[in-house]
Chains A and B, each alone.
Chain A
């Protein structure tokens, strides 16, 4: 009886102690902070950035400062295959749960698309859907080889740049769960930030000189495939309709001569987007209320006067309106896709549109009209009342 009890206890204990199985000591793993994917000879070429804690243990004895991260590359016929092939090179287990950046090479994004890598990233529980998707100019693994200027590794650098770019309103910041939702929606279209390596020349030891990772716009994806790029200002323009502009700077001419002499910093944006279907097709009523303060003014008038203020506000509204109309035209004529996410707005309003095929939506988008109403409110002029040098 006693023996049997002990036996049963041992059997049961395996239930509880099964956790030991999944034990991963910190010194047996390498924390992956970012991955890059390119088209390779046998399918996919994967490059990862992993931590290398052995390099920090050296206690800064010599002047030879080695990087604290490592770059490993492997190829495979799928991304997961490539990831497993990494184990042929890396002496540690990979911890994917901290991977927050996916960089896709431009060529790969155009030809193969990102469907496969997103599948790799979201099906396995070890990875997070909050990771950001980024397109790189040229090969993604070349991109990863750029030394970070002020961060631990290139992935962290890119993520920091993305966060900071909010202040200009020009970044996209596309986590993959949103990318999937947008691409899986009516429009079939999504955006991702576009980075490049730019050589600024000068001494490479100085941060900001030499090769740097720069955010240079946004890539437009249709059905997981890269269609083309938007410049940073076009990305901002698209963000107006995506309700993503939270901050930023608008420069505009205050006089009729058209010379840019005023700058406004956005502090608050209120957007109302109203999708409407009618007999001729449909229209989108957009009303924007942009609040901000004057941060630079080269004109000679007293900007605190109501008359002048009104003039400035109107001029600013005009610039914003122009910006939006330009990108609207570009989306219709050049990309033929709705990367503003309007399709989903329509589907929200008109339920029968939910199952619209993206191809079909592209056609509907062509006949959509934009009804734009931009209102600017300037509510401060900084700590100076009047301009100098009258």
Chain B
């Protein structure tokens, strides 16, 4: 019965709902909802009064419909008043035939002009819907409540992606509203093959979560595993997507993210098409993509929107930038304190002249500058925009100019720090910035203790760790390790779109073929033109 209701409810929503603010956040009736309505209105009323005591946003009102007593309940904060007034109250106050039998059915199917309207018998689920913004009518003598979707809340418009901007390609990004986000995905995948599974997580927050995937492509085990982990979450509230990320990721102690976060619907859809699972969560403008492997964090949407030659070039440049940002400070430290023979003489002499008068070792200098930069970055991030500018000026002047003049820092170190910082910003995914910063700091210290040998040791440790990581069963370093030759078309190079005929091997075994032949032009018959 409940299942059937759900189906009707859903179907009604998807096809009939025309309201713009249609959020349809009415949850499915809880199976464990033991307390049910009775025919006695006064008793029902009493239960509500008890349960909703001191919930000032709930408005409870006695009305009479067709001569029968009824209780109207709605949430003052989340209800669309115009719908309430015009589509519900006006109808209710009309004079119905004084025939009590089947009134509730008539109201539901003929009377009230609202797309989504169901009858609910469980009290708890009714209360939950109330808090989502539904309007509830309980008739005297009826064991069921009429729940109408009247939701309207404040929300942000769909804006440009702030953390992953692109030059070409779509400019929309997710918002805090789950159903807007889901609609952004649905508009891109107009097929019943694209599934969204609803979950509610959080004892107090009752946060809606959607698990999205392409049924024909995704590995069923992956979906099963994602759902299993989500169902195991037992927490009071989910405030941001990072909660789910941290709770279900494979390696909770690793510094590397094994779940990708994106605010771009196109990135999410691309992942879904590759056979990944995307989790949308209410109240956050970010979605989670899993499994996530290392290479994903170094690819940006622009790689695919630019022509492939440039996309490839940029990817290689990004890898170079990655090496710069990870190794430059530590190499500087290692070479200037241990391996002075490694640089050309003229270069070494120039470095020596710059370091002259700096009162502390190069390791300390590099660590200091690294910290100074992170502090500046953090300060610039947290401060209001107007003050942020002041921070950058102070940073540039004090660190860049005065520190060098005062002989506290060598100019070469300032250059190294600057190059490192700039190179770090080429990493498209914010999730990778954090581990890289930490690795860089450790490398600087290793370089200061052991020179290049130290860098080597730590690099091996990190590589070993990376090789051991898995994200939902997918090795973190694919397609490099394990080596999958066919997947290299979308690794360091970005092959032309018409050549990427297949999906990633490990993820989409079920449905490998992505596209057919290239729609190439017909060969020249020689008759065209003159």
Contact residues of A with B, CB < 8 Å? 16-17, 19-20, 22-27, 29, 31, 33, 51, 53-54, 56-57, 68, 95, 97-98, 100, 128, 152, 156
Contact A57 B353 (CB under 8 A): yes
Confirm or deny: B299 has a beta carbon within 8 angstroms of a beta carbon on chain A.
no
In the bound assembly, the distance between CA atoms of A128 and B341 in angstroms comes to 10
Q: Which B residues touch A100, using CB under 8 A? A: 345
In the bound assembly, the distance between CA atoms of A100 and B348 in angstroms comes to 14
Confirm or deny: B337 has a beta carbon within 8 angstroms of a beta carbon on chain A.
yes
Q: Which of A20, A22, A23, A53 contacts B352 (CB 8 A)?
A: A53
Confirm or deny: B202 has a beta carbon within 8 angstroms of a beta carbon on chain A.
no
The residue of chain A having its C-beta at the shortest distance from the C-beta of B345 within the complex is: A98
Contact A19 B348 (CB under 8 A): no
Q: Which B residues touch A98, using CB under 8 A? A: 340-341, 345, 348
Given A24-B337, A24-B340, A97-B340, A17:B352 Cβ within 8 A: no
* Chain A binder among B3-11, B26-34, B447-455: B447-455
Q: Which residues in window 132-151 of B have CB below 8 A to A?
A: none
CB A239 to nearest CB in B, in angstroms, measures 27
Q: Which of B346, B348, B356, B361 contacts A54 (CB 8 A)?
A: B356
Contact B357 A19 (CB under 8 A): no
The residue of chain A having its C-beta at the shortest distance from the C-beta of B405 within the complex is: A59
Contact A24 B338 (CB under 8 A): yes
28 contacts between A and B (CB under 8 A): A16-B449, A16-B450, A16-B457, A19-B449, A19-B451, A19-B454, A20-B449, A23-B337, A24-B337, A24-B338, A25-B336, A25-B337, A25-B361, A25-B362, A26-B337, A26-B351, A26-B352, A26-B355, A29-B340, A31-B345, A31-B349, A33-B345, A53-B353, A57-B356, A98-B340, A98-B341, A152-B346, A156-B345
Confirm or deny: B295 has a beta carbon within 8 angstroms of a beta carbon on chain A.
no
Confirm or deny: B422 has a beta carbon within 8 angstroms of a beta carbon on chain A.
no
In the bound assembly, the distance between CA atoms of A27 and B451 in angstroms comes to 17
In the bound assembly, the distance between CA atoms of A16 and B361 in angstroms comes to 19
Contact B349 A152 (CB under 8 A): yes
Q: Which of A20, A22, A53 contacts B356 (CB 8 A)?
A: A53
The residue of chain A having its C-beta at the shortest distance from the C-beta of B351 within the complex is: A26
The residue of chain A having its C-beta at the shortest distance from the C-beta of B361 within the complex is: A25
Confirm or deny: B49 has a beta carbon within 8 angstroms of a beta carbon on chain A.
no
CB A13 to nearest CB in B, in angstroms, measures 10
In the bound assembly, the distance between CA atoms of A54 and B354 in angstroms comes to 10
Interface size bracket, B side: 20 to 34
Contact B345 A27 (CB under 8 A): no
Q: Which A residues touch B357, using CB under 8 A? A: 27, 54, 57
Given A51-B349, A51-B352, A27:B340 Cβ within 8 A: no
CB A9 to nearest CB in B, in angstroms, measures 15
Q: Which B residues touch A26, using CB under 8 A? A: 336-337, 340, 351-352, 355-356, 362
In the bound assembly, the distance between CA atoms of A22 and B454 in angstroms comes to 13
Given A25-B361, A51-B352, A97:B341 Cβ within 8 A: yes
CB A253 to nearest CB in B, in angstroms, measures 45
Which 7 pairs show the lowest CB-CB distances between chains A and B? A97-B341, A19-B450, A53-B356, A56-B353, A53-B353, A26-B355, A98-B345
Given A16-B449, A16-B450, A95-B340, A27:B355 Cβ within 8 A: yes
7 extra A-B contacts, CB within 8 A, seeds A27-B355, A29-B340: A16-B454, A25-B336, A25-B337, A53-B356, A95-B341, A98-B341, A152-B346
In the bound assembly, the distance between CA atoms of A19 and B355 in angstroms comes to 21
Confirm or deny: B415 has a beta carbon within 8 angstroms of a beta carbon on chain A.
no
In the bound assembly, the distance between CA atoms of A26 and B355 in angstroms comes to 7
Which of B341, B346, B358 is the most central at the interface, judged by chain A CB atoms within 10 Å of its CB? B341
Q: Which A residues touch B341, using CB under 8 A? A: 95, 97-98, 128
CB B235 to nearest CB in A, in angstroms, measures 35
Q: Which B residues touch A27, using CB under 8 A? A: 352, 355-358
Q: Which B residues touch A128, using CB under 8 A? A: 341
The residue of chain A having its C-beta at the shortest distance from the C-beta of B451 within the complex is: A19
CB A369 to nearest CB in B, in angstroms, measures 46
Which of B346, B352, B361, B362 is the most central at the interface, judged by chain A CB atoms within 10 Å of its CB? B352
Q: Which B residues touch A152, using CB under 8 A? A: 346, 349
Q: Which A residues touch B362, using CB under 8 A? A: 25-26
Q: Which A residues touch B346, using CB under 8 A? A: 152
In the bound assembly, the distance between CA atoms of A31 and B348 in angstroms comes to 8
CB A53 to nearest CB in B, in angstroms, measures 4
In the bound assembly, the distance between CA atoms of A33 and B346 in angstroms comes to 10
Q: Which B residues touch A17, using CB under 8 A? A: 449-450
Which of B337, B346, B453, B454 is the most central at the interface, judged by chain A CB atoms within 10 Å of its CB? B337
